[in-house]
Structure formats: C-alpha cells, structure tokens
C-alpha cells in the first residue's frame, strides 16, 4: 500500500515504492545507533501506528493525515488530460 501525507509526499511499505523523502529518511535512520535489544521503527511502521490512532508517534518530516493512493482516479485524470491534448493537435 502507498499513502501520501498532507504535503503530498509518498510513503510506502515496499522499498521499491519509497518516495524521495522516505528513502532519504530511511537511509539516515539506518545510521542512528540504538541500544542493544532496542528495535528501530521504519517510517511505514510509524505511519501505520499513526493511522491506527497513536498520534504521539514521531513522523519525522511527514505530516498527517495520510491519504491512500487512488491509482484508478490518477489514471482516469491522466487519460482525460492526454485526450484533451490529442484533440487539440
């Protein structure tokens, strides 16, 4: 699943789909040392926790609320835009 934050930044649980800001945050997060036995929480886990109701979680540069990606709507809008361009030429 992919979601977008209030500023339009993409966040995904699949590393191939990470947006620029998430990839940058994840890389920086890997460099942070943690105490033995302590688990690092990735951004996707943080967003899932936030969406489950824990609004006290640190989201770094991301801002709630989070909106799921609507691929069907995006493709419909793209099709309409290209249809208008084709008719204009």
**Pairwise CA distance, residues 77 & 73, whole Å:** 6
Report the pLDDT value the prediction gives residue 37, as an integer from 0 to 100. 78
Instruction: Classify burial at 76, counting beta carbons within 10 Å of its beta carbon; exposed 0-12, middle 13-18, buried 19 or more.
Output: exposed
pTM: 0.74
Report the pLDDT value the prediction gives residue 89, as an integer from 0 to 100. 67
Beta bridge partners of 2: 12
Q: What is the pLDDT of residues 4-15, one digit of tens each?
A: 999 999 999 998
List the chain domain ranges: 2-88
Grade residue 39 by pLDDT with cuts at 50, 70 and 90: confident
Structure token digits, residue 61: 């540069």
In the predicted structure, residue 43 carries a pLDDT above the cut 80: yes
């Amino acid at each position: 699943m992919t979601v977008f934050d209030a500023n339009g930044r993409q966040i995904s649980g699949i590393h191939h789909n990470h947006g620029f800001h998430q990839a940058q945050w994840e890389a920086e997060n890997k460099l942070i040392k943690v105490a033995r036995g302590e688990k690092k929480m990735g951004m996707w886990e943080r967003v899932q926790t936030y969406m489950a109701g824990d609004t006290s979680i640190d989201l770094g540069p991301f801002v709630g609320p989070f909106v799921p990606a609507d691929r069907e709507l995006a493709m419909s809008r793209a099709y309409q835009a290209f249809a208008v361009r084709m008719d204009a030429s």
